[in-house]
Copies of this chain bind each other. A is one copy, B any other.
Amino acid sequence: MPNTPPVKPVPGGETRPRGRPRDEGARLAILRAAREMLERGGVAAVTMEGVAQRAGVGKPTIYRYWPNAHAVAMAALLEDAPAEPETRAARGALPALRRQLRQIATLFATPMGRSVTMMLASADQDTELSKAFRNHFIMARRTDGKALLAAAITEGALRPDFDVEVALDLIYGPLFYRLLAGHARLDATFTDALLDHVLAGLAARRQRVTKS
What is A's interface to B at a CB cutoff of 8 Å? 1-2, 23, 25-26, 29, 42, 44, 56-57, 114, 117-118, 120-123, 125, 134, 138-139, 142, 162-163, 165-167, 169-170, 172-178, 180-184, 190, 193-194, 196-198, 200-201, 203, 208-212
Chain B residues, Cβ within 8 Å of A177: 169, 172-177
Residues in B with CB closer than 8 Å to A175 are 173, 177
- Copies of this chain present: 4
**A44 to B, closest residue via Cβ:** B123
Contacts of A211 in B (CB 8 A): 196, 200, 208-210
Query: Looking across the interface, which residue of chain B has its beta carbon closest to that of A57?
Result: B1
Cα(A121)–Cα(B108), bound, Å: 12
Query: Can you offer 19 A-B residue contacts whose CB atoms are under 8 A?
Result: A1-B23, A1-B56, A2-B26, A44-B123, A117-B180, A120-B121, A134-B183, A138-B181, A142-B181, A166-B174, A169-B184, A169-B194, A170-B197, A173-B174, A173-B177, A174-B177, A197-B201, A208-B211, A209-B211
